[in-house]
Amino acid sequence: MLGGCSTESNPPTYPVTGTVTYKGAPVDGATIIFTSISEGGEGATGKSDAEGKYSLTTYVNGDGARPGDYMIKVFKFDSPPPPPSESSPDFNPDSTLEEEEESYDPTEIDNSPVKNELPVQYSKETTSGLKHTVGESESSFDIVLD
């Protein structure tokens, strides 16, 4: 007999899918955040694929969002440069830690901040103008950015 174990179930969620486009083209790798403005609501997030398609997650991957009203923000940050790999011209598999430290040049590090590749107004739910109501059924919300 197992004592003290309980299983809590999450409130119901409903699938929410859509497509993110910017200037008519699909956006790959955009982060979509639905921020609940309903009392007791929870947020949901998604990430767009190469075709700009996304599906929301609240508790488990792809489960959707809880019913309610949402304000939405969407952004896509450029990627930092990858670390040196074996195919990099600067990679030396035979170097020692001392040699690595001697050849280290902190001025060569790219300290530039990551850049949002979408218009900044969409990166805040208060300025994006994007809103969606999730009901007790599957819904779709396409995000069209200019």
The pLDDT value given to residue 6: 36
For a pLDDT cut of 70, what percent of the chain falls above it? 71
Task: Answer with the residue of higher pLDDT: 100 or 115.
Answer: 115
The pLDDT value given to residue 113: 72
Please give the full DSSP string across 13-53, using - where no structure is assigned: -B-EEEEEEETTEE-TT-EEEEEE-STT---EEEE--TTSE
Lowest model confidence (mean pLDDT) among 74-78, 84-88, 122-126: 84-88
Does the structure show a pLDDT above 90 at 72?
A: yes
The SS3 assignment for 143 reads strand
Does the structure show a pLDDT above 90 at 88?
A: no
User: Rounded to the nearest 5°, which phi and psi values hold at 127?
Assistant: -120, -5
pLDDT, tens digit, 9 for 90 and up, residues 49-64: 999 999 999 999 999 9
What one-character DSSP code corresponds to residue 117?
S
Pair 80, 110: CB distance under 8 Å:
yes
Domains of the chain, by residue range, sit at 16-80+94-145
The pLDDT value given to residue 96: 57
